A and B are shown apart, each in its own frame.
Chain A
Amino acid sequence: MSEILLQAKGLKKDFGGLRAIDDLSFQINRGMIFSVIGPNGSGKTTMFNLVTGFLPVTEGEIYFKGERITGLKPFQISRKGIARTFQLTTLFERNTVLDNLIIGQRATRESGVLSSICGLHRVKLEEKKALEKAHELAEFIGLSRQKMVPAGALPQGAQKQLSIGLALASAPELMLLDEPVGGVNLEEIDALIELITRIRKSGVTICLIEHKMSVVMNISDRILALNYGEKVAEGTPEEVCRDEKVIKSYLGDKYVAARGSN
């Protein structure tokens, strides 16, 4: 039994009178690829926002490596070792690929304002290390030829790669990827999946939201299915794709009835 990396207990989130997440508990073990699926509006992104502190939880607790992280600010959670990407690809668009990857390293680098102004040797050393690491990261995500291109000028697929690289720059133990292959073409999908599996191999645990079933079923170790903010099913890809409630929530009652009569 491998170590529990992230654990959520009885999560609830209300938006006014609307309950977006209802009594959701799950755990992510170290080293796995954990996927979250569900129809639009089922609470997947809300769940990410709760875990990363972008939204306050209404009820429930979240633990990372056994430590309670409920109520911490996003930057504090990031520094604990949880990185995320956003559904609408977000980058520092006016900055180059290299600068993005340097900025992403904030979680691991200390360099104060005063010591920067004084031009201390220690700060220069940190800058050098950050630059070296950024070059490595650019290589790793496959953007070594576009290092000096402004992020906003990259094609969609490369932007997705960079957003993953940006999350990776903070040296996380857990990465939450919100639709990492959403809106890109087929070749780009392959490159992204290859990148994700390489990241997992390097020892980072991955939790992803994805709509493309072929992707989810192929790379996931475990799948959580949500509908109306509630857990519908959880298990291995085989278990989840056979689950009647999952089929129902995606395709409606008729499909289950039709299949049942066959």
Chain B
Amino acid sequence: MIGFLLVAPLIITGKYPQHIMVMCGIWVIASLALNLILGYTGQLNLAHGTFFGIGAYATALLVQKIGLSFWVALPLGCALTAFLGFLTGLPTLRTKGHYFPITTMCLGIAIYYLIARWDDLTGGARGLFGLPRPDPIPLPFGSVISFESTPACYYLVLFFVLVTILVKSRLVKSLAGKRLIAIRGNEDLAQSVGIDTMQGKIVSFTISTLFAGLAGGLFSAYMGTLMAEQAHYLLSFEMLIYVMIGGIGTMAGPIIGGIFLPILGEILQPLAGFRLILFGLLLILIIRYLPFGIVGGLRAAGMHFRQRSGAE
């Protein structure tokens, strides 16, 4: 699998498919991040797309207005996004039940309008353009890794996808990760065995927004332009759909969702607006019949098959 991913740009040489591959990588990072707070900690964050946008704008502005190198701007942008996530989490994660999704959605809408109207900083509705690609990394013997070509960006994004997967799988499998899963399972019970549920939720939310910011930062440098649409609150729902259809609370779910759905969207491009109807239908069917998405469905099928072969 990883072997294929490494040579993919050599096999798939079309410029447009390569562009889709880069975009898929970015959505995978964002969806993996959303799954940490939603799937593993049980908190439905409807401002995830907003934090993606904040990361994108923060990185772009640090490069364009302050003149920092992308390699400095990206970590700073992520840190800023995570810090805002932390500040947002402090009041909102105290709420119970439906109030967390509602407050985060309101926040998402507010920040979208802030970005779309703040002409001096964000360029308002026109957006930012002419953002440079990441600076080349110098190598010994005078050569450089340049990021002007799409395959180079593909490898850059792939690197960060692998980092995200590594961080998340280590966290989820650890005792700390089990504590987060306990919070998702039952907050009162988690408290009763000594888990500081508020601290767990804040930590999970901060890490989740950090990686949302990372995806946003990569997006801004790759695309070269940023519009307020990239911080639109509907983006959160798009990522939510990737996670739900791929498989909520599973490691592979957001990866499958983040690759499969954007590609499906491109294939169905000729249908224009009608494809959203198809997406909606798909979502309803998945929630009704496969509550844990494609991954959950595959697991259930695997278990069914094994049991049957065991019985015979």
A positions within 8 Å CB-CB of B: 52, 54, 73-75, 78-79, 83-84, 86, 90-95, 99, 102-107, 109, 111-113, 116-119, 123, 126-127, 130, 166-167, 169-170
Contact = CB atoms under 8 A, between A and B. Distances in A.
B229 interface: no
11 contacts: A73-B196, A74-B192, A75-B190, A75-B194, A78-B191, A90-B189, A92-B181, A92-B189, A94-B185, A106-B195, A127-B174
B188 A106 contact: no
A62 to B, nearest CB: 16
Contacts of B207: 113
A117 B191 contact: no
- 5 nearest CB pairs, A to B: A107-B194, A116-B174, A78-B194, A92-B185, A74-B191
A166 B185 contact: no
B109 to A, nearest CB: 30
B145 interface: no
Given A75-B195, A79-B194, A116 B188 contact: no
Contacts, number: 97
Interface of B: 167, 170-171, 174-179, 181-182, 185-186, 188-197, 203, 207
Contacts of B197: 75
A119 B193 contact: no
B178 A103 contact: yes
Contacts of A92: 181-182, 185-186, 189
Among B189, B193, B194, chain A packs the most CB atoms within 10 A around the CB of: B194
Contact of A52 (B179, B186, B192, B203): B192
B192 A84 contact: yes
Which of B167, B171, B175, B190 lies at the interface centre, i.e. has the most chain A CB atoms within 10 A of its CB? B175
A79 B190 CA distance: 12
B171 A116 contact: yes
Contact of A116 (B176, B181, B182, B194): B176
Contacts of B194: 75, 78-79, 106-107, 170
Contacts of B170: 116-119
A73 B207 CA distance: 25
Contacts of B189: 86, 90-92, 166
Interface centre among A78, A84, A117, A127 (most CB of B within 10 A): A117
B188 A90 contact: yes
A91 B182 CA distance: 9
Contacts of A126: 175
